[in-house]
Amino acid sequence: MTAGVLLTGCDTDQVSLATNAKANQPVPPKLLAAMTEKDMDLQSPILVRLFKQEAELEVWKQTRSGQFALLKTYPICRWSGDLGPKVREGDRQAPEGFYSINPSQMNPQSAYYLSFNTGYPNAFDKALGRTGSQLMVHGDCSSRGCYAMTDEQIAEIYSLGRESFFGGQKAFQLQAYPFKMTPVNMAKHRNNPNMPFWKMIKEGYDHFEVTRQEPKVDFCEKKYVFDAAKPADAKRDPVFDASAKCPAYVIPEDIARAVREKQAKDEAEYAKLVAKGTPVARMNTGIDGGMNKIFAAKIPEGSTGLSEGAEGTTLQMLAMAKAPGTIPGHVNPPKPNLDAAASAPAPQDEPVTASSAPATSTRVASAAPSEKSQEKSQGGFFSNLGRKMGLGTADTTATTPAPQATASVAPTTTTPPTAASRLKAAVTRFVPGHDKSKDAAKEAPKPIVAAKPAEPAKQPDTRLAATRPALKPSVSDGAADSGQMTGAAPVVQSSSFDSRFGAVK
């Protein structure tokens, strides 16, 4: 039974909603107190919103007034891909759009602690021929097309969904966006080719913003339709088909009027921002996904990737804050896609606003310690990469002594640029925050001198953790006070991401 569940990755519809201790963890007392303060019932309906650029997951809950109010915002530990919708299996994209989560999509026996299936592809995705499967919101802070939280976070989110089902909610809505659909974000990304799709799902975003009610979602003519109702003279509700012509429908006037007013205000603000020259966000196709700033601050040489850091707050300052859950030792922070960066054209000189990693460092932590130590002993990451790609040989490494050179006499000849150095120069052009002013000194010809023999690299500690604890303390109850929260000890778990998941996503 256990082996069968693990083979399915983090998805199975054959298990019940709550059959083990992890899935039956109670809602934390602090969340219960917040519900009482906000006039919410434990088992009232919920709604979830996800934002890639902000790397945040919001849980909204219905109050006794019937409207939804924000209960809690969770920082996302890791998401993969780029801003934009998922298109095909294996593109590493986390989905964007509107999805419905029912009890059968909740997986209490996930290989990633706990999880629920997003329901991708929906009818709209299928109408466009988009493919993909097992796209989850889960724990373990590792993503190949999913939204990954810490185990403690997913335990809380899972418990909230479970209680809403026990209260009678048949399915809760998941809204996934590239960013918060504000005028400033729309202005920053106005040249993005995904803008037509983003404007379409912004319609549903606006419906929720003005009503604080879960918008009714339908599909026709390969587009989204929100809060559609039958016309006054119709005898039955309209029937929608994502690939067919739209039936006759109307949007209730009170909703339509409020949405029009909001959109008019947004468009006026958008026009002002464009007129005053708001910079266009850089197209960072060479970076794989993002990570909330609070997690990036806890990882050596961590990066927020395509997610934005806090304004006026550095990662060094955030490193002093508590982490909302245990960060596993195998976490893989966002990093440049070297193949994409090397083949991409040079960036334009026009001013841009990058929503990516800070300029403190362009190096990234490796998920494979043995490869990292090997790179150190063979002349560094870029040289090693150049050899692997066939751009150079062992003669291009920094540890190869130059012929007829001594430590006391510096010859006047200079070393020609190697394939590895050319690759490094191509990559650094696309790393956000790169300071080009420092390149001149690095590119100046240097005399050839005899290099010292490379010191043997220290072997990393590859001992595995004994077993993962069955339960995780709640992030609402001060779990971050534990010494494990900082992720300083890089413990590689026996059920690590690569060994458990393969290339499923």
Catalytic residues: 138, 146
What is the rounded distance in angstroms from the CA atom of residue 89 to the CA atom of residue 84?
15
Q: What is the DSSP letter of 462?
A: -
The rounded distance, in Å, linking the Cα atoms of 465 and 124 is 43
d(CA 29, CA 40): 14
Distance CA 321, CA 167 (A): 36
Helix axes 195-211, 253-275, angle to 10 degrees: 130
Whether the CA torsion 268, 274, 277, 281 is positive or negative: it is positive
Strand spans (E) along 319-423: 352-353
State the Cα angle at 455 between 458 and 461, rounded to 5°. Answer: 5
* Dist. CA 106–CA 374, nearest whole Å: 41
Going by C-alpha positions, the residue among 288, 286, 333, 294 that lies closest to residue 56 is 294
383 contacts: CB under 8 Å, gap ≥ 6: 392, 396, 397, 398, 418, 420
Cis peptide before 196 (omega within 30 of 0): no
Tokens representing 503 are 């290339």
Residue type, 414: T
Backbone torsion region of residue 416, taken as left when φ is above 0, otherwise alpha when ψ lies between -120 and 50, otherwise beta? beta
Query: How many Å apart are CA 86 and CA 399, to the nearest integer?
Result: 44
As a 3-state breakdown, the chain gives helix, strand, coil percent values, each rounded to 5, of 30, 15, 55
Distance CA 53, CA 93 (A): 14
User: What sign for the dihedral angle of Cα 153, 154, 155, 157?
Assistant: positive
Alpha helices in 276-334 (DSSP H): 293-296, 315-318
Task: List 255's β-bridge partners, or say none.
Answer: none
Please give the structure tokens belonging to residue 181: 């659909």
What gap in Å lies between CA 268 and CA 297, rounded to an integer? Answer: 37
Phi, psi dihedrals of residue 492, rounded to the nearest 5°? -95, 115
Bridging pattern class, strands 97-101 and 172-177: antiparallel
Q: Determine how β-strand 223-226 pairs with β-strand 217-220.
A: antiparallel
H and E: helices and strands count for the chain: 15, 14
Is the CB of residue 175 less than 8 Å from the CB of residue 48?
A: yes
Could you count the other beta carbons within 10 Å of the beta carbon of residue 499? 12
